[in-house]
Chains A and B, each alone.
Chain A
Amino acid sequence: MAKILILLAHPFLERSKANQILLDSIPNAEDITLRDLYELYPNFTINVKLEQSFLLEHDVILFQHPLYWYSCPPLLKQWIDFVLEDGWAYGKNGNSLRGKKWVQAITTGGSREAYQKEGFHGYTIDEFLLPFKRTAELCKMDYQNPFLVQGTFHLKEEDFQRESIRYKKFILNMLEANHG
């Protein structure tokens, strides 16, 4: 059994149906810890030591966030900047996160087609997520492919239901994955 830390970063959760649905589909389990970053740090002053202690206690770090301007919302970026300290997460003696899984659950307004070479945005999601991938690598973490819910602007009720089930399964799978 792996322990999962879900870090939710959404500045307007009250307006995002997709993210609310995803949030509701997270199973209640002892090995899952949910931390709602915008709820915890509305003033952007992150408690670094506390965050690091949570990281140490879990095997899978799941970042759930919307894609804003091809990246994550600012508080998550701030979290990355502050919590992944030199000498702790990377660099000399920075081995605290070695072997832990890094995974993102991302909602995009644009459709899957838009994020293609020949689509509206001209690049794939993977290309946009390169900085995250590199960050995970530098922290000696195991970068996993992201869980994507795309085209949220056009999703119908039944689509949401489908995505909800898919997310639940995704998390349970990771929970059961043999860690190590």
Chain B
Amino acid sequence: MGEVQFFLQAMIYLTSAIIMVPIANRLGLGSVLGYLIAGIVIGPFVFGFVGSEGKDLLHFAEFGVVMMLFAIGLELELSLLWRLKFWLLGLGGLQLVLTTFVVFTCSILFQFSWKSSFALGLILSLSSTAIVLQTLKEKGLMKSISGQASFSILLFQDMAVIPILAIFPMLSDREISTSEHGHSLVDHLPGYQKTLVVLGVVIGIIFIGRYLLSPLFRLIAKSGSREIFTGASLLLVIAISVLMGSVGVSAALGTFLAGVVLASSEFRHELESNIEPFKGLLLGLFFLSVGASMDIPVVLEHPSKIVGIVFGIIFAKAIVLLLLGFLFKIPLDQNLYMALALSQVGEFSFVLFGYSEGLGVFEKETIVILVACVALSMALTPILLLLYEKTIFTRLQSKAPQSETNGKIEKEENPVIICGFGRFGNMVGRFLRSNGVGITILDYDADRVEMLGRFGFKVFFGDATRLELLESAGLEHAKILVAALDHPERQQELIRNVKHHYPGIQILARVGDREEAYEFKEMGLSYIYRETRETAVTLASDVLKLLGTRSYAAERAKNLFLAHDDETFQELFSLRKDRVQYISLAKQRNLELERLMFVDLGKEEELSRDSWSEMERM
């Protein structure tokens, strides 16, 4: 391949990705599918821009997967694992075992050999970390029960990939080594010795990572420049891949281990951010080449078969998850969400299919069909979730606002409603409660709701931007509504709703910064609280004290500053559209404030005159 030819290829790949990925994202399908579709489009069966080299690319792009595992390894902090141990092992472990078993049984019925069936079970038990985590993050459900449960399951799956990779060679019917690792040094060894060699290398990596890598990185960080560190990060990943390849094991396994070992080092975030862009692009390339190498004609020959398999997989996985969720006492609405969210097959299955092809675990044609099924199951996830949210989810939620509250919020008649019980709302609520004010609390974070319930707070789960929920929380009896939601947009929606339907209720709102405060003032609010204002000024006044200012003077300075800041805010509000004037007034007000402070702290000479003693002499 000539140089021009190479760049031409790169152009085609990048262009297709740049076009397809945003479209897929916009449609809520996620970028993985975007890459896949882009690959299919440029592949030999649609436009034919790229042809047979899709396969070679696949091997190169698999390096993205290697990096992904390295990144996953870096994320695996022992403390996190420990915190989630119950769900991780229980939920995650059972999910994998049960799903594998179900798939295994089914495929045995379909006349597969037990080895292939077992391999298939393992492959299909995995879900797509990329799709699910992205969806959960976008929907803000990471901290909900379903989010945490999903995360635990995905984490377990990510970890399970390692033993799966190690088991796969043993599931091979042929005694051949993988083609993609070229000539491996352990070709001539029988299976069990191979496994021993692999174990040896793994232990070696753990030791090196533990005792050699951190000092090495420290040295580089001290003496080298930034790009040298990036180079070192890359070198680490590549070196481990080569090492693992030379003993005929997947490179992913090795880098994953290295990642885990380095997760506790101080370079964790640095490594992560260095690998990130490479990882992202190479992964993209990987999915692209999976798409490009997909044998569309074969897929088109078996449409009914594929549809059957896809729905079979989704159904089986969702049922297993539902059962487990039930077992682990996850509320029904959250449980259903989790089951649907994790019902697709993960992107790692592409890697495993590729790997097993080399090992000869499956027929080539089977792999083509299965890859198509996996891609389809991924494509269906966002659609299924959307359907679920629009129909059952909301109904379940309004019916069962979490925890022990049976059905709906019984008529509350507290004078104060607090929407959002995070950092901010929590303080508000605690203060009011300790002063004997009756409060009704709404929060959209299932976990938090449950936890606060254990602390004796009566918190209702629900989306405060929904007027009907507010009404059932006793909005018409309330005098005051404290708006303390996290997202400015949701805050605005809440305020608009309440102001429009219940203009008599006083709204006190938390905002982030000045700009946000202007927006809220524009909406007609008079009680607006910038979240960090008082805290920051309190800190600053403590700085004054530590520098030798007396406490009361510092306290006065604080109060003066805050009062002045309030006035300035009101003045600047009217000018905020006119940037030039705004800035000049802001400057002027700052000067004024400095003068004020000087006078108050008695730093003006003319104030030092002692008039009392003068008068007495008169």
Q: Do A and B bind each other?
A: yes
Q: Does B387 contact A (CB under 8 A)?
A: no
How distant is A53 from chain B, measured CB to nearest CB, in Å? 15
Q: Does A87 contact B (CB under 8 A)?
A: yes
How distant is A140 from chain B, measured CB to nearest CB, in Å? 13
Chain A residue nearest in CB terms to B596: A49
Render B41-60 as a binary contact track against A, CB cut-off 8 A, 1 for contact: 00000000000000000000
A43 is contacted by which of B559, B609, B611, B614 (Cβ under 8 Å)? B559
B555 touches A43 (CB 8 A): yes
Which residues of A lie under 8 Å from residue B614 when comparing CB positions?
A: 91
Q: In the complex, A136→B132 CA distance in Å?
A: 77
Q: Does B556 contact A (CB under 8 A)?
A: yes
B563 is contacted by which of A44, A45, A90, A92 (Cβ under 8 Å)? A45
How distant is B202 from chain A, measured CB to nearest CB, in Å? 64
Within 8 A of A (CB), among B553-567: 555-556, 559-560, 563
Within 8 A of B (CB), among A66-109: 86-87, 90-92
A87 touches B563 (CB 8 A): no
A92 is contacted by which of B555, B559, B560, B611 (Cβ under 8 Å)? B611
Render B532-564 as a binary contact track against A, CB cut-off 8 A, 1 for contact: 000000000000000000000001100110010
How distant is A34 from chain B, measured CB to nearest CB, in Å? 21
Within 8 A of A (CB), among B565-618: 609, 611, 614-615
B559 touches A45 (CB 8 A): yes
Q: In the complex, A43→B559 CA distance in Å?
A: 8
How distant is A85 from chain B, measured CB to nearest CB, in Å? 10
B555 touches A91 (CB 8 A): no
B611 touches A91 (CB 8 A): yes
Which residues of B lie under 8 Å from residue A91 when comparing CB positions?
A: 611, 614-615
How distant is B354 from chain A, measured CB to nearest CB, in Å? 69
Q: In the complex, A100→B424 CA distance in Å?
A: 49
Which residues of A lie under 8 Å from residue B555 when comparing CB positions?
A: 43-45
How distant is A52 from chain B, measured CB to nearest CB, in Å? 14
B556 is contacted by which of A45, A87, A90, A92 (Cβ under 8 Å)? A45
Which residues of A lie under 8 Å from residue B559 when comparing CB positions?
A: 43, 45
Given A43-B555, A45-B555, A87 contacting B611 (CB threshold 8 A): yes
B611 touches A47 (CB 8 A): no
Q: In the complex, A90→B615 CA distance in Å?
A: 10
Chain B residue nearest in CB terms to A45: B559
| Total number of B residues with any Cβ neighbor in A under 8 Å | 9
Within 8 A of A (CB), among B485-519: none
Q: In the complex, A152→B500 CA distance in Å?
A: 50
A45 touches B560 (CB 8 A): yes
How distant is A134 from chain B, measured CB to nearest CB, in Å? 12
Q: In the complex, A43→B555 CA distance in Å?
A: 9
Q: In the complex, A115→B609 CA distance in Å?
A: 39
Which residues of B lie under 8 Å from residue A47 when comparing CB positions?
A: 563
How distant is B556 from chain A, measured CB to nearest CB, in Å? 5
Most buried by B among A47, A86, A87, A92: A86
How distant is B56 from chain A, measured CB to nearest CB, in Å? 73
B560 touches A86 (CB 8 A): no
Which residues of A lie under 8 Å from residue B615 when comparing CB positions?
A: 90-91
Q: In the complex, A44→B560 CA distance in Å?
A: 11
Q: In the complex, A86→B560 CA distance in Å?
A: 21
Q: In the complex, A44→B615 CA distance in Å?
A: 29
Which residues of A lie under 8 Å from residue B611 when comparing CB positions?
A: 86-87, 90-92
Q: In the complex, A44→B558 CA distance in Å?
A: 12
Q: In the complex, A14→B611 CA distance in Å?
A: 40
Q: In the complex, A44→B555 CA distance in Å?
A: 9
Q: In the complex, A118→B486 CA distance in Å?
A: 68
Chain A residue nearest in CB terms to B606: A87
Which residues of B lie under 8 Å from residue A87 when comparing CB positions?
A: 611
How distant is A96 from chain B, measured CB to nearest CB, in Å? 15
Q: In the complex, A47→B559 CA distance in Å?
A: 10
Q: In the complex, A125→B608 CA distance in Å?
A: 35
Chain A residue nearest in CB terms to B607: A86
How distant is B593 from chain A, measured CB to nearest CB, in Å? 14
Chain B residue nearest in CB terms to A86: B611
Chain A residue nearest in CB terms to B560: A45
Most buried by B among A43, A44, A45, A90: A45
Q: In the complex, A90→B614 CA distance in Å?
A: 12
Q: In the complex, A90→B555 CA distance in Å?
A: 28
Which residues of B lie under 8 Å from residue A45 when comparing CB positions?
A: 555-556, 559-560, 563
Which residues of B lie under 8 Å from residue A43 when comparing CB positions?
A: 555, 559
Within 8 A of B (CB), among A32-46: 43-45
How distant is A131 from chain B, measured CB to nearest CB, in Å? 14
Q: In the complex, A86→B563 CA distance in Å?
A: 24
Which residues of A lie under 8 Å from residue B563 when comparing CB positions?
A: 45, 47
Q: In the complex, A63→B611 CA distance in Å?
A: 26
Q: In the complex, A91→B606 CA distance in Å?
A: 14
Q: In the complex, A90→B556 CA distance in Å?
A: 24
Which residues of B lie under 8 Å from residue A86 when comparing CB positions?
A: 609, 611
Q: In the complex, A97→B611 CA distance in Å?
A: 18
Which residues of A lie under 8 Å from residue B609 when comparing CB positions?
A: 86
Chain A residue nearest in CB terms to B615: A91
Q: In the complex, A44→B556 CA distance in Å?
A: 8
How distant is A39 from chain B, measured CB to nearest CB, in Å? 15
Which residues of A lie under 8 Å from residue B556 when comparing CB positions?
A: 44-45
How distant is B531 from chain A, measured CB to nearest CB, in Å? 20
Q: In the complex, A87→B607 CA distance in Å?
A: 10
Q: In the complex, A87→B615 CA distance in Å?
A: 12
How distant is A43 from chain B, measured CB to nearest CB, in Å? 5
Chain B residue nearest in CB terms to A138: B615
Q: In the complex, A47→B562 CA distance in Å?
A: 12
Q: In the complex, A92→B556 CA distance in Å?
A: 27
Which residues of B lie under 8 Å from residue A90 when comparing CB positions?
A: 611, 615
Chain B residue nearest in CB terms to A87: B611
Which residues of B lie under 8 Å from residue A92 when comparing CB positions?
A: 611
Render B161-187 as a binary contact track against A, CB cut-off 8 A, 1 for contact: 000000000000000000000000000
Query: What 14 additional pairs, Cβ within 8 angstroms, besides A86-B609, A91-B611?
Result: A43-B555, A43-B559, A44-B556, A45-B555, A45-B556, A45-B559, A45-B560, A45-B563, A47-B563, A86-B611, A87-B611, A90-B611, A91-B614, A92-B611
Nearest 9 A/B pairs, CB to CB: A45-B559, A91-B611, A86-B611, A43-B559, A45-B556, A45-B560, A91-B615, A92-B611, A87-B611
- A selection of 19 A-B contacts at a CB cut-off of 8 Å is A43-B555, A43-B559, A44-B555, A44-B556, A45-B555, A45-B556, A45-B559, A45-B560, A45-B563, A47-B563, A86-B609, A86-B611, A87-B611, A90-B611, A90-B615, A91-B611, A91-B614, A91-B615, A92-B611
